[in-house]
Chains A and B, each alone.
Chain A
Amino acid sequence: MMALYRLLVFPGFGFLFVCAMLFDWIDRRVIARTQERVGPPWYQPLADFIKLLAKEDVRTEGVHEVAAAGLPIVSLASVLTAALYVPVGGVAAASYEGDLIVVLFLLSVPALAYFLAGWISPGVYSVIGGHRSLLQYFSYEVPFMMALASPAVLAGSWRIMSIVAYQGQATWLALIQPLGFLLAIVGLIGKLKRDPLDIPKAKSEVVGGPLTEYSGRKMAIWHLAMDMQTVVGIFLLVNLFLGESRFLEALPAFPVFGAKALAILLLLSMASALYARLRIDQLANLGWRVLAPLALLQVMATLWVGG
């Protein structure tokens, strides 16, 4: 019974759905305010979701129907499964040694599904968007994984709850490993395909990217998967870099966790507002010439210090 509650309500699907809508709204509102606009009201992401569910599902000619319908569902399923192991305020649906690796692999599945969605579509914009998304995946994933492996190396465990507990005894890993934290943020921006790294779905270049031909219920599932991936990614970063702290032990865990997640979300929104979109070859250059060596440096420093 408790397992069912954990799966469906908290910290499972229900909680994640609410968080996805909430984080999307906060993101859009903050970006709008930095641009001196008003921004959407609180119910806008929910209204968009319901509207998309009600819209006509366009069937593109030449696309394998089962694959086109299955890809968004696979994305959503993998994000939800990854969320099982990411603790929220200290509570996770399941936790065991090595679950960090499982989470990282499961969070790579939506990126591959996104590429496949472009690959199977006959439209030109989708194909180009798919190419770009795969190239982007290869550029950010290596630094991202290495940056997320450093906390595990330092804490001596591949279990997320243990890494959180380790920070309770030392201090936040964002302070001990600031380079890793920065690389993780940049990698997260690439993974979530947010501005300034929204290259695969750049509106002024490839119209909609791999999802150009999607609409209706399938698009609603895609958007939900993207929003939930944002939430899970932010929660993962909070756990690995802004975990428990001796100074904040007296305060209740859940609001503190929420505040940290909001701080990272604000950081991401600011990055969206402050910079122009990069070109794909500039991202590849950045990823392999700057980010990967820095991540390697971080891991080697951790190994040397941690012993």
Chain B
Amino acid sequence: MKEAFRSIACLVPQVFRALFRGPQTVAFPFGRANIPEGYRGRLRIHADQCRGCGLCVRDCPASALELQREGRGRFRLLYYPHRCAYCGQCELSCTSEALYHDNSFVGGVASLDELVTVMVEREG
């Protein structure tokens, strides 16, 4: 008898608790979203530490980084957020600890050109 009652009233305690506890959802973007510090968001760089070695470009699985060398000591490092897989391999491969992910999101833009970021521009 108890089993029969339990079999149809199984959910009732949790349902009532849910009614009084209130919603457990986060009303992002109208409320705060708790994004932890270590979240791999947008890629950033400490530009002065970059030596232009190109290890990040070699190890990126998504071809999201591009190094344009223009002679001695002159180079430009480009980053394509729309190709990036946010895996953090470049951060691992970089020997000068220049690249890092912060926990911000990449927002929507109107045209693809606006997304391409020049990370470092060294004039030599």
Contact = CB atoms under 8 A, between A and B. Distances in A.
B111 interface: no
A34 B18 contact: yes
Interface stretch (A35-43, A78-86, A222-230): A35-43
Interface string B1-39: 000000010011001001101111101000000000000
A275 B15 CA distance: 12
B5 to A, nearest CB: 13
B76 to A, nearest CB: 47
Contacts of A37: 23-25
Contact of A33 (B8, B12, B18): B18
A30 B15 CA distance: 11
Given A274-B11, A274-B12, A38 B18 contact: no
A34 B15 contact: yes
A134 interface: no
Contacts of A273: 11, 15
Contact of A270 (B15, B21, B22, B24): B15
A36 B11 contact: no
Nearest to A35: B18
Contacts of A275: 8
B19 A33 contact: yes
A36 B12 contact: no
Given A274-B11, A274-B12, A38 B23 contact: yes
Contacts, number: 30
A249 B95 CA distance: 84
A304 to B, nearest CB: 28
Nearest to A32: B23
A33 B24 CA distance: 9
A270 B21 CA distance: 16
Nearest to B18: A36
Contacts of A35: 18
A37 to B, nearest CB: 6
Interface in A242-290: 270, 273-275
A26 to B, nearest CB: 13
A274 B23 contact: no
Contacts of B19: 30, 33-34
A33 B11 contact: no
Contacts of A270: 15
Most buried by A among B8, B15, B24: B15
A40 to B, nearest CB: 12
Contact of B25 (A30, A34, A36, A274): A36
Interface string A5-37: 000000000000000000000000010111111
Nearest to A38: B23
Contacts of B22: 33, 36
Given A36-B21, A38-B23, A273-B11, 19 more contacts: A32-B23, A33-B18, A33-B19, A33-B22, A33-B23, A34-B18, A34-B19, A35-B18, A36-B22, A36-B23, A36-B24, A37-B23, A37-B25, A38-B25, A38-B27, A270-B15, A273-B15, A274-B11, A274-B15
6 contacts: A33-B19, A33-B23, A34-B19, A38-B27, A39-B23, A273-B15
